[in-house]
Amino acid sequence: MSRGAFILLEGCDRTGKSTQAQMLVDRLTQLGHRAILWKFPDRTTGIGHMINGYLAKHQDLNDQAIHLLFSANRWEAVEQLANHLRSGTHLVVDRYAYSGVAFSAAKGLDLEWCKQPDVGLLKPDLTFFLDMPIQASMQRGGFGEERYEKEELQTRVRDLFLKLREPDWKVVDATETIDQIHEKLTKAAQETIQTVASRELQYGLW
């Protein structure tokens, strides 16, 4: 049986990741695949509730502690993710460990320290980085309500994403129209689905 593909969307806040992730799941489903959306942070778990409290500014935590909670929120999902992929279901994942490192390092934590807790996680098969100037994303609705949604921090986050970028990432111009971006993502996702079908799951982030 062919395994599912792990497709990741990364980027700063308000770059359209969630919209595109949902559209990609819907499209793959229409095309006859089994595909599900997975969002990090997953705010529905016990750890996720703590993360949500922190992001909504209801609770303060030091930078190291919240960093480890974000990572734990991925580790608590890893068996479920692997089971979906093994059973042939594609995962469209909205943020992952790259967000984890970029946001924490943007606050001043050491980059190498930030990478350590996610070492050994499942590796994405395809990563899209939705990129646009921070000034443009700041003008999109809903910005500024949660922690981290500030221009200066987002600018540092973007620089860190670019530093973390792996050679096989697909950098997507997030200022293009929703449909243009969707077509690009769909095409690349279909190619990856084919190439990974008979491959073993990839552990060993980074």
Q: How many CA atoms lie within 13 A of 121 on its CB side?
A: 25
Is 70 a binding residue for ligand NYM by CB under 6 A? The answer is: yes
Task: Please say which residue, 84 or 115, places its beta carbon nearer to ligand NYM.
Answer: 115
The correct pick among 84, 95, 158, 182 for binding ligand NYM (CB under 6 A) is 95
The correct pick among 13, 94, 118, 125 for binding Mg ion (CB under 5 A) is 13
Contact at 8 Å (CB) between 129 and 115?
no
Task: Please say which residue, 41 or 124, places its beta carbon nearer to ligand NYM.
Answer: 41
Instruction: Put the strands of the sheet holding 6-11 in their side by side order.
Output: 35-39, 90-94, 6-11, 126-131, 170-173
Is 10 a binding residue for Mg ion by CB under 5 A? The answer is: no
Q: What are phi and psi of 113, to 5 degrees?
A: -60, -45
Tell the smallest beta-carbon distance from residue 101 to ligand NYM (Å).
8
Task: Please say which residue, 162 or 197, places its beta carbon nearer to ligand NYM.
Answer: 162
- What is the Cα–Cα distance from 94 to 143, expressed in whole angstroms? 18
Is 113 a binding residue for ligand NYM by CB under 6 A? The answer is: no
How many other β-carbons are positioned within 10 Å of the β-carbon of residue 155? 16
Is 48 a binding residue for ligand NYM by CB under 6 A? The answer is: no
Pinpoint the alpha helices (H) of 76-133: 78-86, 97-106, 111-115
Is 11 a binding residue for ligand NYM by CB under 6 A? The answer is: no
Interacting residues toward ligand NYM by CB under 6 A = 13, 40-41, 55, 70, 95, 99-100, 103, 148
- Contact footprint for Mg ion (CB under 5 A): 13
